[in-house]
Amino acid sequence: MAEQADKMPASRYAAPALDKGLDILEVLADVPDGLSLNGIARALGRTASEIFRMVVTLQQRGYLAIDDKDRYTLTLKMLELSHRQQPLKSLVATAMPLMRELAGRAYQSCHLGVHHDGQILVVAQVDAPGPFTMGAKVGALGKLTDSASGTMLLAFRDEAERTRMIAAQVRIHGELEVDAAQLLRQLEEARANAAITWPSRRIRGATDVSRPVFGINQEVIAALTVPYIERMDRSQSPTIPQVEQLVAEIASRLSELMCYTGHNAQL
């Protein structure tokens, strides 16, 4: 990262301290288990003394946490800040009552995902009723191309925007693990049906049921997804086709609340 920074053209408005802080945040974003002070310094091509005060400041401001092994990790502070941004705040606030209704009726957990810099970002999640549940964590990031939510968001972008999104994913996660022609077929099918139901690529035995959430400019702003797991503790749980109908209904109602008027015509 430090080498990339060296290659960037010098700016008359350079802010070295800010650059240093952002470098620290970005390098830790790719290391879920965290890094020590020396580890951060090595990753950035700097000395520990160069970044010590910046790391301590970020910790004191709540952006970093330190564990008992002196490893620093990112907190959810940046996600918290992003939620104060009105469009996202409005989306989550509007979605939560409907998602609680969906979880109760489907007897499954559900989550809402949006695109963020080449990744899928979970911005809201509701657990299934009962003592046992499984679902994505708020703040979780993942590849667009190996999740139903990410594929849904890609499907409703134009070719130029889709190319930028995939390029950003490759920059973060490396080369695609899916054949380009196969991916294109999946995107075309998802767009034509405004629906994805397929075996989960993350949880064996689960089935992802995902539907798009439209916004005011006829743009897909989020994907509503249920990772369906057969409940052996509840014999009358809804079936996958029934959950598909429930997710489609809730996604449609949420789209209407987000001021999209043409959603029903799309389904």
Single out the residue of 225, 209, 208, 222 nearest to residue 255, CA to CA: 222
C-alpha span between 31 and 40 (Å, rounded)? 10
- 2-75 matches 81-266 in fold: no
Say which CATH topology domain 81-266 has. Beta-Lactamase (3.30.450)
Other C-beta atoms lying within 10 Å of the C-beta of residue 40: 24
CA dist list (Å): 71 to 7, 33, 40, 77, 197? 29, 8, 9, 17, 40
Is the pLDDT reported for residue 108 higher than 60? yes
Between 216 and 240, name the one with better pLDDT.
240
Pair of tokens at residue 204: 């064996």
Is the pLDDT reported for residue 219 higher than 90? no
Single out the residue of 199, 214, 208, 210 nearest to residue 248, CA to CA: 210
Residue 199 dihedral angles phi and psi, to the nearest 5°: -60, 135
Is the pLDDT reported for residue 247 higher than 90? yes
Non-local CB neighbours of 93 within 8 Å, separated by 6+ positions = none
Q: What's the pLDDT score for residue 267?
A: 38
One-letter amino acid for residue 267 of the chain: L
List the chain domain ranges: 2-75, 81-266
pLDDT tens digit string along 42-84?
A: 999 999 999 999 999 999 888 888 888 899 988 767 765 665 5
Say which CATH topology domain 2-75 has. Arc Repressor Mutant, subunit A (1.10.10)
Q: What's the pLDDT score for residue 82?
A: 60
pLDDT tens digit string along 127-159?
A: 998 877 787 888 888 899 989 999 999 999 988
C-alpha span between 140 and 144 (Å, rounded)? 12
pTM beyond cutoff 0.85: no
Non-local CB neighbours of 106 within 8 Å, separated by 6+ positions = 128, 226, 228, 238, 242, 243, 246, 247
C-alpha span between 165 and 110 (Å, rounded)? 24
Strands 110-116, 220-228: pairing kind:
antiparallel
